[in-house]
Amino acid sequence: MSDPRKAVALISGGLDSLLAAKVIQEQGVHVEGINFFTGFCVEGHTHAIRKKERARPKRNNALWVAEQLGIKLHIVDIVEPYKEVVFNPRHGYGANLNPCLDCKIFMVNKAHEWLRQHSFDFIITGEVVGQRPMSQRKDTMPVVSKESGSGDLLLRPLCAKNLPETLPEREGWVKREQLYDFSGRSRKPQMALAERFGLKDYAQPAGGCCFLTDAQYASKLADLWRARGSKQYEMDDIMLLKVGRHLRPRPHFKLIISREEGEGNYLQGYRKQYVSIKTVSHPGPLALIDGEAGDEDIELAARLVARYSQGRDAPEVELEVADREGNSRLLRVRPMPAHEVPQAWHL
Amino acid sequence: MASVTPRSKLDARRLLCPMPVIRVQDRVAELAPGTTLEVVCTDPGALTDIPAWCRINGHRILETRDNGEEQVVILEVGAS
């Protein structure tokens, strides 16, 4: 008996990719999963940073999906090459800084490279025609196949009957009649199929697995690019955009102010990279200064930090200002009243 | 005479998931089956994610510890 055909499935951790892999597995195909880490993934990081979130049980949904399917999962770090997708998406951004179509093309292309390196036969995604406004439309799904270089090796089991036949179908590696014709934004067909497979406790489909789709996050990233004069970021930058309250009182510096203990602990780890401010006389946040701040700027920053401490109504608050080398000094300031903080400073 | 299994160590502190898992995945690919690997992390999620990754990829968890600040996972590389 010949070895089964092998498919690599893009596993996001959501329901659609779980079902797509399951449908193909049920046809006797050997499936392994691939999951890409861009740095903008929503899941996990907030949980790891914020103290109150830590009380909730946490899981990585892609790993959970792989375990449900009983398949291997290969997690690929694409942080560096992904930057070009974020900086210059050929097909543009969505509502925020989300380059969804370019992102999908990029990931399918990476899956195709992996397929060739590991002698797999075809690629599976959980895409559904009409499900997403940018990357999953009748007119853009062929663009993904073409521009990713995967061509007709890319099979979307959940909506394959709405699309032209692919190589795995033509060659009889999978039976087209056992694939699906889902379309549109309704989740009901997926939920019914999940029930048929006896799948429970799957991640709730939200379409929000990427911080770049989040308006507030995108606004902070755009501010970072403006302040630096060019589109660029490092891993620490995009992590810090997920943490704390960000205020830019002057064009040349911004403040990252922790909102709770977990965030304060996380920001502590950056005290050698940024000037930091911490309240001393009253319980309060830890803040980092991103940019070059002079004495007047630091006093302004200290007044803002004091405003978010328990001494906000006190006549004066004492704070410790530490430079990157760990040299510190004390500063006493009058907390800035709320009405003196322009809304435009909040990123 | 039985040989002593070498123990490899991996520092994954200050990395947030899934980076500790990715580092484990990359290191395990370089290690011979039967090798033990000790991973030190500061993201408590690693205590669920690394064992999950091991289960689906055929590696064995020998020990997990959490002192509140750091988490330690010791695994044995499987045959696959």
- Residue A52 and residue A132 share a domain: yes
Residues 103-142 of A with CB under 8 A from B: none
How many structural domains compose chain B?
A: 1
Rounded to an integer, the average pLDDT of A305-331 is 96
Report the alpha-carbon distance of residue B61 to residue B42 in Å, rounded: 18
Listed in order, strand segments (DSSP E) in chain B are 7-12, 36-41, 60-66, 71-76
> With bands split at pLDDT 50, 70 and 90, how would you rate the model's confidence at A186?
confident
Lowest mean pLDDT, pick from A81-95, A232-246, A293-307, B3-17: B3-17
| A215-A220-A226 Cα angle (round to 5) | 125
Q: Is residue B42 part of a domain?
A: yes
Read off the CATH number of the domain in which B67 is found.
Answer: 3.30.110.40
Q: Does B79 touch chain A (CB under 8 A)?
A: no
- Residue A232 CB-half CA count within 13 A: 4
Residues 7-36 of A with CB under 8 A from B: 35
* Complete edge-to-edge strand list for the sheet that includes strand B36-41: B7-12, B36-41, B71-76, B60-66
- Residue A263 and residue A205 share a domain: no
Task: Please tell me the predicted confidence (pLDDT) of residue A139.
Answer: 84
> With bands split at pLDDT 50, 70 and 90, how would you rate the model's confidence at A138?
confident
Please report residues of A whose CB lies closer than 8 A to that of B52.
59-60, 63-64, 67
* Complete edge-to-edge strand list for the sheet that includes strand A317-322: A245-250, A253-257, A286-291, A275-279, A317-322, A328-333
Q: Is residue B6 part of a domain?
A: no
- Residue A148 and residue A257 share a domain: no
Lowest mean pLDDT, pick from A53-62, A181-190, B50-59: A53-62
Read off the CATH number of the domain in which A127 is found.
Answer: 3.40.50.620
Task: Please tell me the predicted confidence (pLDDT) of residue A201.
Answer: 84
Q: Is residue A65 part of a domain?
A: yes
- Residue A120 and residue A194 share a domain: yes
Contact A48 B25 (CB under 8 A): no
Task: Please tell me the predicted confidence (pLDDT) of residue B2.
Answer: 44
Percentage of residues in chain A having pLDDT higher than 90: 77
Residue that has been written with the tokens 């090796």 in this structure:
A153
Does residue A284 carry a pLDDT above 80?
yes
Q: Is residue A231 part of a domain?
A: no
| β-pair partners for A210 | A41
Does residue A286 carry a pLDDT above 70?
yes
Please report residues of A whose CB lies closer than 8 A to that of B44.
48, 54, 58
Q: Does B25 touch chain A (CB under 8 A)?
A: yes
Contact B49, B21 (CB under 8 A): yes
Report the alpha-carbon distance of residue A39 to residue A81 in Å, rounded: 11
> With bands split at pLDDT 50, 70 and 90, how would you rate the model's confidence at A53?
low
Percentage of residues in chain A having pLDDT higher than 70: 93
Rounded to an integer, the average pLDDT of A306-329 is 96
Examine the fold and report which residue of A190, A211, A232 is the final residue of a domain before the chain moves on: A211
- Residue (of B5, B29, B27) closest to B73 by Cα position: B27
Contact B46, B39 (CB under 8 A): yes
pLDDT digits (tens, 9 = 90+) for B47-74: 999 999 999 999 999 999 999 889 999 9
Q: What is the pTM of this model?
A: 0.88
Q: Is residue A238 part of a domain?
A: no
Does residue A46 carry a pLDDT above 90?
no
Please report residues of A whose CB lies closer than 8 A to that of B43.
44, 48
Contacts of A247 (CB under 8 A, 6+ apart): A254, A255, A257, A304, A341, A345, A346, A347
Residue A272: phi and psi, rounded to 5, are -85, -10
Does residue A333 carry a pLDDT above 80?
yes
Residues 29-68 of B with CB under 8 A from A: 43-45, 48-49, 52-53, 55-57
Q: Is residue B44 part of a domain?
A: yes
Q: Where are the alpha helices (DSSP H) in chain A?
A: 15-25, 45-49, 51-54, 61-69, 79-87, 100-118, 141-147, 167-170, 188-196, 215-228, 235-240, 261-268, 295-307
How many whole angstroms from its chain centre is CA B43?
Answer: 13
Comparison of pLDDT for A255 and A132, the residue scoring more? A255
pLDDT digits (tens, 9 = 90+) for A59-70: 789 999 999 999
- Residue A207 and residue A291 share a domain: no
Q: Is residue B39 part of a domain?
A: yes
Q: Is residue B60 part of a domain?
A: yes
Range A271-275 contact pairs with CB under 8 angstroms and sequence separation of 24 or more: A271/A322, A271/A324, A271/A326, A272/A324, A272/A326, A273/A236, A273/A324, A274/A324, A275/A321, A275/A322, A275/A323, A275/A324
- Residue (of A258, A37, A24, A211) closest to A126 by Cα position: A24
Report the alpha-carbon distance of residue A284 to residue A258 in Å, rounded: 9
- Residue A76 and residue A123 share a domain: yes
Contact A49 B18 (CB under 8 A): no
Rounded to an integer, the average pLDDT of A283-288 is 97
Stretch (H or E) spanning A248: strand A245-250
Mean model confidence pLDDT for chain B: 89
Please report residues of B whose CB lies closer than 8 A to that of A239.
16
> With bands split at pLDDT 50, 70 and 90, how would you rate the model's confidence at A43?
low
Q: Is residue B10 part of a domain?
A: no
Please report residues of B whose CB lies closer than 8 A to that of A47.
45
Range of the domain at A303: 243-345
- Residue A251 and residue A198 share a domain: no
Closest alpha carbon within chain B to A71: B56
Among residues B15, B17, B72, B74, the one annotated as catalytic is B17
- B17 noted as active-site residue: yes
Report the alpha-carbon distance of residue A213 to residue A246 in Å, rounded: 18
End-to-end, the C-alpha distance of chain B in Å comes to: 26
Q: Is residue B26 part of a domain?
A: yes
Q: Is residue A220 part of a domain?
A: no
> With bands split at pLDDT 50, 70 and 90, how would you rate the model's confidence at A316?
very high
Contact B16 A49 (CB under 8 A): yes
> With bands split at pLDDT 50, 70 and 90, how would you rate the model's confidence at B4?
very low
- Residue A128 and residue A69 share a domain: yes
Range of the domain at B39: 19-76
| β-pair partners for B11 | B40
Q: Is residue A234 part of a domain?
A: no
How many structural domains compose chain A?
A: 2
Distance from CA of A337 to the nearest CA of B (A): 35
Percent of chain B as helix, strand, coil, to the nearest 5 = 30, 30, 40
What does the DSSP 8-state code read for residue A39? S
Does residue B1 carry a pLDDT above 70?
no
Please report residues of B whose CB lies closer than 8 A to that of A59.
48-49, 52
Does residue A48 carry a pLDDT above 90?
no
Q: Is residue B13 part of a domain?
A: no
Contact B49, A60 (CB under 8 A): yes
Q: Is residue A217 part of a domain?
A: no
- Residue A258 and residue A338 share a domain: yes
- Residue (of B27, B65, B46) closest to A45 by Cα position: B46
Reported ipTM: 0.89
Residue of A75, A234, A239 to mutate, interface with B, max B Cβ within 10 Å: A75
